[in-house]
Amino acid sequence: MITINFKKEIQKNVVQIFATNKPELKTNCLTPAQKKYVAQALKQCDFKAKEGEIVSVLGLEEKILVVGTGECPNRTAFEKIGGKLAGAIKDEKAAYYPLNAKNLSEEINAVATGLFLASFKFDKYLSKKKNEKELKDVTFVCEDIKGAKKQFEETKPILESVCFARALSAEPANHLTPLIFSKLIEKLADTGLEIEILSLKELKSKKFGMLLSVAQGSQNEPKVAIMKWMGNPKKKTFDIGFVGKGVTFDSGGISLKPGAGMGDMKQDMTGAAVVVSSMRSFALRKVKNNVIGIVGLVENMPSGSATRPGDIVTSLSGKTVEILNTDAEGRLVLGDCLWYMQQVYKVKKIIDLATLTGAVMAALGEEYAGLFSYDDKLVEEIISAGKSVDEEVWRLPMNKAYDKMIDSDIADMKNIGGRLAGGSTAACFLHRFIKEGTSWAHLDIAGVDKYEKSRPITPKGATGWGVRLLNELVK
Q: pLDDT tens across 361-384, in order?
A: 999 999 999 999 999 999 999 999
Q: 141 pLDDT exceeds 90?
A: yes
| Cβ-contact 111, 79 below 8 angstroms | yes
Tell me, yes or no, if 257 is annotated catalytic. Answer: yes
Check for a shared fold between 3-144 and 158-474: no
Tell me the pLDDT of the chain averaged across its residues: 95
CA nearest to 244, candidates 306, 193, 307, 181: 181
Summarize the confidence of residues 390-419 as an average pLDDT: 97
* pTM listed for this prediction: 0.97
> 75, 121, 331, 414: which one is catalytic?
331
**Catalytic residue (choose from 93, 257, 348, 349):** 257
Side by side, the strands of the sheet bearing 349-354 are: 194-198, 223-230, 290-300, 240-250, 349-354, 439-444, 369-372, 393-395
Overall average pLDDT of the 73-77 stretch: 92
Q: Are 417 and 425 in contact (CB under 8 A)?
A: yes
What is the rounded end-to-end Cα distance, in angstroms, of the chain?
26
Neighbours of 468 (CB within 10 A): 25
What is the rounded CA–CA span in Å between residue 422 and residue 436? 24
Domain boundaries, the chain: 3-144, 158-474
The tens digit of pLDDT for each residue in 181-222 reads 999 999 999 999 999 999 999 999 999 999 999 999 999 999
Please provide the CATH number assigned to the domain covering 158-474: 3.40.630.10
Task: Give the CATH superfamily of 3-144.
Answer: Leucine Aminopeptidase, subunit E, domain 1 (3.40.220.10)
Residue 58 pLDDT more than 80? Answer: yes
Tens digit of pLDDT for each residue in 112-129? Answer: 999 999 999 999 999 987
From the list 102, 51, 108, the residue with the least C-alpha distance to 80 is 51
Q: Which among 263, 242, 273, 250 has a CA at the least distance from the CA of 449?
A: 273
Provide the edge-to-edge strand list for the sheet that holds 93-97: 3-7, 137-141, 93-97, 15-20, 64-68, 54-57
- Determine what percent of the chain is predicted with pLDDT higher than 70: 99
